[in-house]
Amino acid sequence: KLIKEETLRRILFNQVQELKGNIRVMCRVRPTFGAEDNAAQISFPDSDKESKELALLGQEERSAMGNVSRKTHAFSFDRVFGPTTQNQEVFEEISQLVQSALDGYNVCIFCYGQTGAGKTHTMSSADGMIPRATHQIYETATNLRDKGWTYSMEGSFVEVYNEEIHDLLGSSKDFEKKKHEIRHDDQKKQTTVTGLKSVSLDSPDAVESILKQADANRSVAATKSNERSSRSHSVFILKLVGRNSTTGETSEGTLNLVDLAGSERLKISGAEGERMKETQNINKSLSCLGDVIGALGQGKEGTHIPYRNSKLTYLLQYSLGGNSKTLMFVMVSPLEANVKETLTSLKFATKVHNTHIGTAKKSTRVRGSES
C-alpha cells in the first residue's frame, strides 16, 4: 500500500512539473555569523510558511537634487528559504525532483551565487544535497525491487577549472595532469568523460567516501590556489540505469548536482597571467550557462543552443533542455556589504525563472521497442 501511494505521488508530481515547465528557481538566504553586522537588507520570508517572495533594499542612490534614497527590489521565485532554514528542509522541497531521475529523467540542480553565500554548504557538505539525494535514491531503488526493478547506480564527481575537466575521484597524484575529454553519443543522447573514475553506489555509505576523496583532491590543488574552490565548478553525476524483470521496461536517468563557481563579477583589470585567464573563464562559463538557458527558453525548433561555448554546458548538454528537469538555487548573503552582488544574483535568477522550457520526457522504454 505504501508503495502504491508513493507511486501515485510521483506520477502526480511529474504531471505538475510538466505543467509548470521544467526550470524552477529557489532562493536561499544564508544566516549572519558571529561578528558580522546584522544590518539585514533583505526582508525574509516567514519561516513557518512556504514563502515565494523576498524584498531587497538596494544601495543608496543620490538624485540630481542631492537627495539620498534606497529602492526596494521585490522578487518572486518558486520558493524562498530564510536564514533559519536547515538543509533537511531544503531537501524535502527537492526530493521528488531527485526521485524523478529514477523514473528516467535527466535532472540538473545548480547552486548559483557569490562566494560565501552558502553554495557548498547546501550542495556538497556532509549534510548537503549530494549525500541526501544519494541516500534517498538508494532507499527508493531498494523499495522498487518489490516491483521488479533493479538499478545500477554509478557516481562520478568532476571539477571544471579553467575550462579543463579534473577527476575529483581520481588519484591525487595526477589530479591536475590527467586529461579528460567530453564525448557525446548523439544517437543515445548520452555523455561520457574519458578516463573518469566512477564509483558504484552499492551501499548507501559509499557517498561519504566519495565526498572525502573529492575533498582530498581539492585540498591538494588548493595549496597552489587558495581560492580555487570558488573559482571552479564541481559536478556530481549520478547515473541510474534500471531494468524491470517483470515488465521488461528499462529506464535511464542522470542526476547532476552542480556547485558553481562564485558569481561575483571578477575584474579583468588588475589580474594578470594565469589569474586573468581564470577570471575570464569563470565569467565566460557562467554567462554561457545563462545563454544556454535563454536559448532553450525561446523554444523554437532549430534555435542554436550554444552548449559548446563552455565546458560546463557542453558537459551538461543532454541534461539541460529537451529531456530534462532543471532547478537553480540562488544563494544570497544578507549583508549590507553584499547588496550589489545580491541584486545581481537575484536578477540573474529572475531571468532564469522567467524562462519556460518545453516539457520533459522520461526515457523509459519497453525493451526492444524504440520510442
Which amino acid is located at 25 in the chain? V
Residues in touch with ligand ADP (CB under 6 A) = 30-31, 113, 115-121, 230, 331
Residues 119-158 that bind Mg ion (CB under 5 A): 119-120
Q: Which does 359 bind (CB under 5 to 8 A by kind): Mg ion, ligand ADP, none?
A: none
Helix (H) or strand (E) holding 218: helix 206-222
Rounded to a whole number of angstroms, the minimum distance from the CB of residue 60 to Mg ion is 30
327: closest CA among 307, 308, 349, 294? 349
Which amino acid is located at 251 in the chain? S
**Phi/psi of residue 366, each to 5°?**
-80, 135
Q: Which does 129 bind (CB under 5 to 8 A by kind): Mg ion, ligand ADP, none?
A: none
Residue nearest to ligand ADP (CB): 118
The dihedral sign for the CA sequence 210, 216, 222, 227? positive
Coil, strand or helix at 184? strand
Determine contact, residues 61/72, Cβ cutoff 8 Å: no
Rounded to a whole number of angstroms, the minimum distance from the CB of residue 329 to Mg ion is 13
Residue 83 vs 104, nearer CB to ligand ADP: 83
Residue 130 vs 295, nearer CB to ligand ADP: 130
Residue 30 vs 325, nearer CB to ligand ADP: 30
DSSP letter string, 2-52:
HHHHHHHHHHHHHHHHHHH-SEEEEEEEPPP-TTS-----EEPPPTTS---
Residue 228 vs 325, nearer CB to ligand ADP: 228
Grid cell 553586522 — which residue?
37
Q: Which does 136 bind (CB under 5 to 8 A by kind): Mg ion, ligand ADP, none?
A: none
Residue 42 vs 331, nearer CB to ligand ADP: 331
What does the alpha-carbon distance between residue 237 and residue 322 come to, in Å, rounded to a whole number? Answer: 18
Residue 151 vs 329, nearer CB to ligand ADP: 329
Rounded to a whole number of angstroms, the minimum distance from the CB of residue 262 to ligand ADP is 6
Rounded to a whole number of angstroms, the minimum distance from the CB of residue 119 to ligand ADP is 3
Rounded to a whole number of angstroms, the minimum distance from the CB of residue 131 to ligand ADP is 15
**Phi/psi of residue 349, each to 5°?**
-65, -35
Residue 260 vs 295, nearer CB to ligand ADP: 260
Rounded to a whole number of angstroms, the minimum distance from the CB of residue 263 to Mg ion is 11
What does the alpha-carbon distance between residue 308 and residue 310 come to, in Å, rounded to a whole number? Answer: 5
Q: Which does 350 bind (CB under 5 to 8 A by kind): ligand ADP, Mg ion, none?
A: none
How many residues form the binding site for Mg ion (CB under 5 A)?
2
Rounded to a whole number of angstroms, the minimum distance from the CB of residue 296 to ligand ADP is 25
Grid coordinates belonging to 17: 512539473
Q: What mask of x and - would describe binding to Mg ion in positions 95 to 124, judged by CB under 5 A?
A: ------------------------xx----
Rounded to a whole number of angstroms, the minimum distance from the CB of residue 118 to ligand ADP is 3
What does the alpha-carbon distance between residue 213 and residue 227 come to, in Å, rounded to a whole number? Answer: 19
Grid coordinates belonging to 276: 586573468
H helix count then E strand count, the chain: 8, 15
Residue 115 vs 190, nearer CB to ligand ADP: 115
Q: Which does 322 bind (CB under 5 to 8 A by kind): Mg ion, ligand ADP, none?
A: none
Residues in the chain: 371
Site residues (CB under 5 A) for Mg ion? 119-120
